């Protein structure tokens, strides 16, 4: 028995032995819990599985223990950082509710920790992997139009050409309070300065596959369309009703049918609690696809595009921010949500240069956002947004939209 254990110990890789903390009688030299747990787990696996494993498997176990120890220690450090970000955010919200001044102390001023350790090793032995459910295909324009026809017996009225849609958008945007600069520069950022009214994320610049439901000049998601119908539906109905009143003949009959359909859509969007999660449930159904089809309509599409931005402008005013939003500031609110975006927008320039962008993200979202990581302060993020707007504003679609104003 003793000889058997000795043979097993002899086959334990030297690096694993070195990972085990020496007993020195005190806690000062003890490894972090994540490291100690990883070592204990590997030793347990080794003795449970016996010493007959191949060299490749033994090497994999050694590397796995090393990875788990290093990654575990990193995750503890990162978890503490992102918990602090969350607590600071809660503190800022509370101060705003009570009318207190926000200062640098209300933000985490260190950049988030970056993992630089080894990658998880590949197991040389076959492993069972759970089957992933088939990904539901994203709807494209043809799916949206089919849903609108099936559920509402309605086909959105498409423009005769791109310029017609741009002119309709420009008229409604100006009448609603958006500026030419805001509309054109946000369009330039969202579409690269070349997108048509029906452009969809992924199906652009030679792309063959939709990567999201984001569509149009301001890249509305399906959930955005549902939410706008729920929250701004009264305004959309009012504007379309006025157009009906000014129209006669066959054109009026067509508009009256469109108005009836719009009212039904608004009623359905309002039938659930006014939360993103509830609107998302509708958006992920044929009902939501039919609503999203309105982005393509020459009358309703420009209104939806406008209100996607206008709601952020009105939100800022309601919070007491009266200075006109720059296009880059408006885009921050468009991308991150009104509350988070306004947090950046209301920040003085001196603070913008010091506050990391991580303060405005959840950990998972930040780690998937290379732009926020690379341009890691508020000032840098706004600057790169402005730069991209500058370069894209000279492209054909942006020039055409600017001319429509």
pLDDT score, position 397: 95
pLDDT score, position 69: 95
Tell me the whole-structure pTM to 2 decimals.
0.78
pLDDT score, position 45: 54
pLDDT score, position 40: 55
DSSP state of 32: P
Domains of the chain, by residue range, sit at 2-106, 141-404
3-state secondary structure of 235: helix
pLDDT score, position 34: 56
pLDDT score, position 226: 97
Q: Reduce the secondary structure of 207-223 to three states and give it as a string.
A: CCCCCCCCECCCCECHH
Class of the domain covering 141-404: mainly alpha
DSSP β-bridge partners for residue 200 = 203, 215
Compute CA distances 90 → 83, 85, 86, whole Å.
Answer: 11, 9, 6
pLDDT score, position 25: 40
The mean pLDDT values, 10 residues at a time, for the chain of 405 residues are 38 38 42 56 51 82 94 96 96 90 95 94 83 84 96 96 97 96 96 93 81 94 96 96 94 95 97 96 96 98 96 91 91 87 91 95 90 94 95 95 96
Length of the chain counted residue by residue: 405
pLDDT score, position 32: 58
């Amino acid at each position: 028995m003793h000889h058997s254990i000795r043979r097993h110990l002899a086959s334990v890789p030297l690096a694993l032995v070195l990972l085990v903390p020496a007993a020195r009688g005190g806690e000062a030299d003890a490894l972090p819990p994540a490291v100690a747990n990883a070592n204990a787990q590997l030793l347990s696996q080794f003795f449970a599985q016996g010493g007959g494993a191949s060299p490749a498997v033994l090497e994999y176990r050694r590397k796995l223990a090393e990875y788990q120890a290093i990654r575990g220690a990193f995750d503890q450090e990162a978890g503490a950082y992102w918990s602090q970000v969350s607590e600071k955010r809660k503190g800022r919200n509370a101060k705003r509710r009570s009318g207190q001044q926000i200062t640098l102390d209300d933000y985490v001023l260190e950049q988030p920790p970056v993992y630089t350790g080894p990658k998880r090793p590949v197991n040389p032995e076959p492993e069972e992997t759970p089957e992933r459910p088939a990904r539901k295909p994203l709807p494209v324009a043809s799916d949206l139009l089919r849903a609108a026809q099936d559920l509402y017996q309605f086909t959105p009225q498409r423009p005769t050409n791109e310029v017609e849609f741009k002119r309709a958008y420009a008229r409604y945007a100006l009448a609603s309070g958006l500026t030419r600069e805001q509309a054109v520069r946000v369009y330039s950022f969202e579409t690269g300065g070349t997108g048509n009214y029906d452009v969809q994320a992924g199906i652009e610049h030679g792309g063959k596959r939709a990567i999201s439901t984001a569509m149009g000049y301001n890249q509305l998601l399906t959930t955005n369309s549902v939410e706008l119908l729920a929250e701004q539906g009264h305004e959309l109905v009012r504007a379309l009703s006025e157009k009906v009143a000014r129209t006669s003949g066959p054109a009026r009959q067509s508009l009256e049918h469109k108005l009836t359909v719009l009212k039904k859509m608004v009623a359905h969007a309002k039938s659930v609690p006014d939360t993103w999660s509830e609107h998302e449930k509708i958006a992920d159904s044929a009902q939501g696809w039919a609503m999203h089809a309105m982005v393509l309509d020459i009358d309703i599409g420009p209104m939806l595009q406008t209100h996607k931005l206008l709601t952020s402008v009105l939100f800022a005013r309601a919070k007491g921010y009266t200075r006109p939003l720059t296009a880059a500031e408006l885009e921050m609110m468009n991308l991150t949500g009104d509350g988070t975006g306004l947090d950046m927008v209301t920040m003085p320039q001196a603070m913008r240069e010091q506050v990391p962008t991580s303060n405005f993200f959840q950990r998972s979202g930040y780690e998937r956002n290379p732009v926020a990581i690379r341009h890691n302060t508020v000032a840098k993020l706004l600057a790169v947004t402005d730069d991209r707007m500058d370069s894209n504003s000279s492209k054909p679609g942006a020039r055409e939209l600017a001319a429509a104003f």
